[in-house]
Structure 1
C-alpha cells in the first residue's frame, strides 16, 4: 500500500503555524495544513463560499492575527482550525473540505491514499 503524498516533516511546520502544499504538482498550493501541537489539520486550499478561491493572502499565510482561525483572503471568512467550520463571514455554517493526513513514527506528514 502506498504511503500517499509526502508533505513535510512535523518539525518543519512550527507549532501554531500554517503552510500550503502542492501535492499533485499542479503549480499552486491545493492543500493547507495547520499544526496545533502534535496534531495537524489539513484542508483543500479552497474557500467554500468563493468558488474554490485559494485561501492565503500570501504564501503560507492562512491564519488570522491571533493564529486561532483560518482566514479566507478573498472576503475575510474565518474557519475553526480543528473542524474547518466557518464561524464568521458570508459562508457561515459551511466548512472547508478536510484532507486526510497521517503522521508516521518518523514524524513525516503524508496525505493518506485517496485522502485528496
Structure 2
C-alpha cells in the first residue's frame, strides 16, 4: 500500500467530479473518480458495480443533468456523490467502491 497524490484540491470546483488514472506498483492501472462536494472530497473506483465499466461517457462527465447524482453512462444508474450509494438503476442498493482519501498540503491523496 502506498499514498499517492491524484490532483490539487484547488483544481476541483464545488460539485465537480474528475476522472484520473494511477499506475500501481505492479504496472496495472487504477481508474478513479475524485468528487468535491462542498469542503469534502470523496474518491471512488471508476467502475460501475453492475457492469464493471467506467461511469463517464466523456472525460470528467460524471454528474447527471440535474447535477445531483453521479451517473453511469452505460445504463443510467444514479449514485449519491457523498457515499457512492446507488439510488436508481440495475445496481440499486449497491455502492461504488470507496478509496481512502485525505487532503495533505493542498493535494488530494489516496491510499492504493
Q: Same fold (TM over 0.5)?
A: yes
Aligned to 1:45: 46
More strand by share: 2
The count of corresponding residues between Structure 1 and Structure 2 is 110
Shift of 1:37: 1.5
Q: What is the CA distance between 1:68 and its match in structure 2?
A: 1.3
Q: Which residue of 2 aligns with 1:101?
A: 101
Q: Show the counterpart of 1:69.
A: 69
CA–CA distance in structure 2, aligned partners of residues 103 and 87 of structure 1: 28
Gaps of 5+ in 1: none
Q: CA deviation at 1:80?
A: 0.8
Let me know the Cα RMSD of the aligned residues: 2.0
Query: Over residues 20-67 of structure 1, what are the superposed CA-to-partner deviations in whole Å (9 max), with x where a residue is unaligned?
Result: 0101277977000110121111100000001x1010010011111121
The 8 Å contact of residues 15 and 35 in structure 1, kept in 2 or not, is answered as yes
Structure 2: give runs of 5+ residues left out of the alignment.
none
How many angstroms apart in 2 are the aligned matches of 1:11 and 1:40? Answer: 12
Q: How many angstroms apart in 2 are the aligned matches of 1:82 and 1:22?
A: 21
Which 4+ residue blocks in structure 1 deviate beyond 2 angstroms?
25-29
Determine helix, strand or coil for the equivalent of 1:48. coil
Note closer, same or farther for the CA distance 1:29–1:66 as it changes in structure 2 (3 Å cut).
farther
